[in-house]
A and B are shown apart, each in its own frame.
Chain A
Amino acid sequence: MDFYLGLAQIVGVHTLLGLSAYCVLLTGQVSLAQAGFFAIGAYVAAMLTVLAGWHIVPAIAAASFVAGATACAVSFPALRVKGLMLVVATLAFGEAVRLFFFNFDYQVAKGEVKIGPAGGEGFRQIRFFPENGWSTLDVLIFIWLFVALVMAGLWWMDRSRAGAVLRAVGEDEVAAQSAGINVTAVKVAAMTVGGFIAGLGGGIFAHYTAHIEHAQFGVALATFAIAYPILGGLSSVFGTLIAVVFVQGFLIEGLRFLGDWRNLLFGGLILLAMNVRPRGLIDAATIAAVKRMRTSNKEPGNARTQGAE
């Protein structure tokens, strides 16, 4: 049981990571900086609970704000470029953040042992959860509270005018601009929200893995961040969640019985998924189909959904 609870924790945190990239992807930008914001969140939150003795809730709140502010500050220069240029610019920023933490040494003596981030050796003993007697289930509920909150927020935003604006910028920037949308403001807002969510995820990540080091926040994690929403599809926030379950639950844990062949399938199945469903596991057609099923059950022949097809 504990194992499934633990797995659900991982799914929750990775969903946050994926959703942070989802926000940015909606505006048509591919950002590989999410791992960097995730790292900032992880280090800030961990330092606040371990070194300053804060409770975890204010700590991850502060971490999210720091990560969000960084994202906002970075997005102004970064968003001058787009396409591949932006991919590489954000990659460079993400790597710069990782390398900053690689060089970041801030240890404080506590009794006999020194605690705090120690450069390349990492930051060990981030034990807020076990020290305060939180069970795996408590942690799980705590994590999913935030995931639900973020998902609900994004889902609501998606259906409001803000979502339409984001997607308009993503579909055709020039058209959006001529419709009177301030493209730069929209992109910066999306980056900031994305950074905020990544910081939140990172703050939680640091506490359930109990140890963080720079190597965890490299290009691989940044690629995963954008992989979730792309694999899941950009039509709905649930796509990201489904993709995380697909990757963490099926590709990583579900295929564990395959032993060392599992990793071979990992890349291959991502390839296959993209060939079979290039617009993601949940695309616009899936959503239309779900809606159709719902409406045909309740009130057959709803004019609005038929018109939407």
Chain B
Amino acid sequence: MSYLDVIDTLQSVADGVLFGATYSLLGIGFTLVFGVMHKINLSYAAASIGAAYASLIVLSVVKAPAIFIFLLAGLAGGIIGFMIYVVCFRFIPQANPLATLMSTVGALLLIDEIIVHATVGIPVPYPALFSDVIVNAGPFTLRGDLMFMFALGCLSMLLLLVLLYRTKLGIATRAVAQQPVAAQLCGISIPRINGLTFVITGVVGGIAGAMIGAAIGVLSPLLSLPLTTKGLIVTVIGGLGSIPGAIIAGLLVGGFENLFQYFRGVTERDLYVMLLLFGFLVFRPGGIFSPAAGRD
């Protein structure tokens, strides 16, 4: 390996890690719903992309700055999140995980097709922030928009942690996650907390969708299925219910992806990512930050 190869390898990994921030944001959403309800919401990535699309409707009416669009995407994500809760979870018995798994698949297909119908499947440009900023650090270059996204991802994580550990709502949410029956006996309304969880994860997802749109520059319904897979992978590697785990895992997956791509080429890249995940699950099923009592 020559000097240039080393530089290229490191640069590839750095690019991957930065882009991995989008995976982290999605992983947070998956993990939060799982933590509170012990359910999988497969429509989450599609809803996030849907929220980003929804924010564009506003842009088509008024010319708004990009940051405003991102916030709008968060708002739209919250609304869509609540709708998903109502149609996929509210009226299906809690004790039936298979039914909600399937209903979220239905929602995933529905959201995808609504997007396809509205846009004829053609990718739509998405505004970006700091997209023309390229930071040169020695032989390395770092993308400004990705770093901004990275920072925003960390910020959302912090806000979420504050929300979960410093507010009454957070205490209630964690109570429902740990002991639903006891929480109910204490007067906490479980449907309300579950609904709120979906709104919160929806907001995070909406922002993630906007970040993904901004990082790629366009939105396409092509994105939702691969992002669902990536989100699930990140959730599992990070450990179910662990927010810091999801963040680290997102960055790890992003980095490894580019590493495999650099050494083995694109056709084998995902094959190795899957094998990595498979190995991870088998040998460390509790995730990166596996808690002491690590069972599902």
Contact = CB atoms under 8 A, between A and B. Distances in A.
Q: Do chains A and B touch in the complex (CB under 8 A)?
A: yes
A50 B225 CA distance: 33
A80 B102 contact: no
5 nearest A-B pairs in the assembled complex, by CB-CB distance? A267-B109, A267-B110, A270-B106, A271-B106, A83-B296
Interface in B260-296: 267-268, 270-271, 274-275, 277-278, 281-282, 285, 296
Interface in B103-117: 103, 105-114, 116-117
Contacts of A264: 110, 113-114, 117
A81 interface: yes
A54 interface: no
Interface in B56-103: 87-88, 91-93, 96, 98-103
B148 interface: no
A271 B46 CA distance: 15
A99 B99 contact: no
Given A219-B225, A270-B106, A274-B106, A88 B98 contact: no
A84 to B, nearest CB: 6
A223 B42 CA distance: 11
Given A84-B232, A264-B117, 8 more contacts: A78-B281, A80-B285, A91-B232, A92-B275, A92-B277, A260-B117, A274-B88, A278-B92
Which label, helix, strand, loop or mixed, suits the secondary structure of the B interface?
Answer: helix
Contacts of B285: 80-81, 85
What's the interface size class on B, roughly?
Answer: 35 or more
A15 B32 CA distance: 35
25 contacts: A78-B281, A81-B281, A81-B296, A84-B235, A87-B40, A88-B236, A91-B232, A92-B278, A96-B271, A99-B270, A102-B267, A220-B225, A226-B102, A231-B102, A264-B110, A264-B113, A266-B113, A271-B106, A271-B110, A272-B106, A273-B106, A274-B92, A275-B103, A278-B92, A278-B96
Contacts of A275: 87, 91-92, 103
A143 to B, nearest CB: 26
Interface in B233-257: 233, 235-236, 240
A271 B270 contact: no
Contacts of A220: 225
Contacts, number: 139
B229 interface: yes
A263 to B, nearest CB: 5
B41 to A, nearest CB: 11
A120 B270 CA distance: 14
A240 to B, nearest CB: 13
A102 B272 CA distance: 13
A166 B108 CA distance: 31
A99 B268 CA distance: 7
A279 B268 contact: no
Contact of B229 (A95, A268, A279): A95
A250 interface: no
A279 B106 contact: no
A226 B236 CA distance: 20
Contact of B107 (A260, A263, A267): A267
Interface string A85-109: 1011101110110011011000000
A221 to B, nearest CB: 12
Interface of A: 25, 30, 77-78, 80-85, 87-89, 91-93, 95-96, 99-100, 102-103, 119-120, 218-220, 223, 226-227, 230-231, 234, 260, 263-264, 266-275, 278-279
Contacts of A80: 281-282, 285
A211 B96 CA distance: 38
A92 B274 contact: yes
Given A87-B40, A89-B281, A30 B98 contact: yes
Contacts of A270: 102-103, 105-106, 109
Interface of B: 34, 40, 87-88, 91-93, 96, 98-103, 105-114, 116-117, 225, 228-229, 232-233, 235-236, 240, 267-268, 270-271, 274-275, 277-278, 281-282, 285, 296
Contact of B98 (A85, A89, A92, A230): A230
Given A271-B88, A275-B92, A85 B281 contact: yes
Nearest to B233: A88
Contacts of A268: 106, 110
A227 B285 CA distance: 26
Contact of A85 (B88, B113, B236, B274): B236
Contacts of B106: 267-274
Contacts of B103: 270-271, 274-275
A24 to B, nearest CB: 12
B249 to A, nearest CB: 12
Contacts of B111: 267
Contact of A274 (B99, B117, B225, B236): B99
Nearest to B296: A83
Contact of B113 (A96, A119, A267): A267
B282 A93 contact: no
A268 B229 CA distance: 22
A165 to B, nearest CB: 20
